[in-house]
Amino acid sequence: MPRQATHQTRPEREKAPKRQATAAGEKDAAVNRAASHNYFLLEKLEAGIALTGTEVKSVRAGRANLKDSYGIVKNNELWLLNAHISPYEHGNIFNHEALRTRKLLVHKDEIRKLIGKTQQKGLTLIPLRLYFKNGRVKVEIALAKGKQLWDKRETERRRTADKEAREAIQRSRRA
């Protein structure tokens, strides 16, 4: 009688740990919440951003803030000012400055369009969010026009009216 071969299976290898949501591009690294409150957002544009290694690590850790930042076009180049990226905690003497001016990477055609539009009275470039896409840090910037106080009040009224209407519809469906 032939001997029956025992079937051995390899032990399951442990899966690689799941990447952090921010680094995987599932979650935004930084969001400028005040932008839609303070400005009418007219056009949105995706741009790359030139960062140092420690800045990328800080962005991955979620230590970036776009609250008071804005973009300018200078010498046919697009720059991001006042964007706060905290110094990397485990950095050394070559760590970066938190508020340094950073270059935004866009095509020349897009820069030409932005030059014409930003020279109009009242239009500015506002960064909306900082996020990862295919392992690279991207910035979503918007061409924006500042809101006056009555504009902000009107937006708030419209938002509350829409919310009340949605709640009334839900109540009527339940009954």
pLDDT tens for the 175 residues of the chain, in order? 566 666 666 666 667 667 677 766 667 888 888 888 888 888 899 999 998 888 888 888 888 888 889 888 889 899 999 988 888 888 777 777 778 898 999 999 988 888 888 887 778 899 999 998 888 889 999 998 888 888 788 888 998 999 999 999 998 988 7
Q: Is residue 29 part of a domain?
A: yes
Domain span at 107: 21-147
What is the spatial distance between Cα 60 and Cα 82, in angstroms, rounded to a whole number? 19
Q: Is residue 96 part of a domain?
A: yes
Q: In Å, how far are 89, 101, 104, 109, 131 from 54, measured between CA atoms?
A: 9, 15, 17, 31, 16
What is the spatial distance between Cα 4 and Cα 28, in angstroms, rounded to a whole number? 57
Q: In Å, how far are 6, 29, 158 from 88, measured between CA atoms?
A: 54, 15, 42
92, 98, 104: which is closest to 58 by C-alpha? 98
Q: Is residue 7 part of a domain?
A: no
pLDDT of residue 25: 65
Q: Is residue 45 part of a domain?
A: yes
Q: Is residue 84 part of a domain?
A: yes
| Residue 22 and residue 138 in contact, taking contact as beta carbons nearer than 8 Å | no
78, 54, 79: which is closest to 64 by C-alpha? 54
pLDDT of residue 100: 86
CATH number at residue 97: 2.40.280.10
26, 115, 25: which is closest to 76 by C-alpha? 115
Number of domains in the chain: 1
Q: What is the pTM of this model?
A: 0.73
Q: Is residue 119 part of a domain?
A: yes
Q: Is 47 helix (H, G, I), strand (E, B) or coil?
A: strand
pLDDT of residue 1: 59
Tokens of 47: 């741009």
Q: Is residue 155 part of a domain?
A: no
| Residue 34 and residue 67 in contact, taking contact as beta carbons nearer than 8 Å | yes
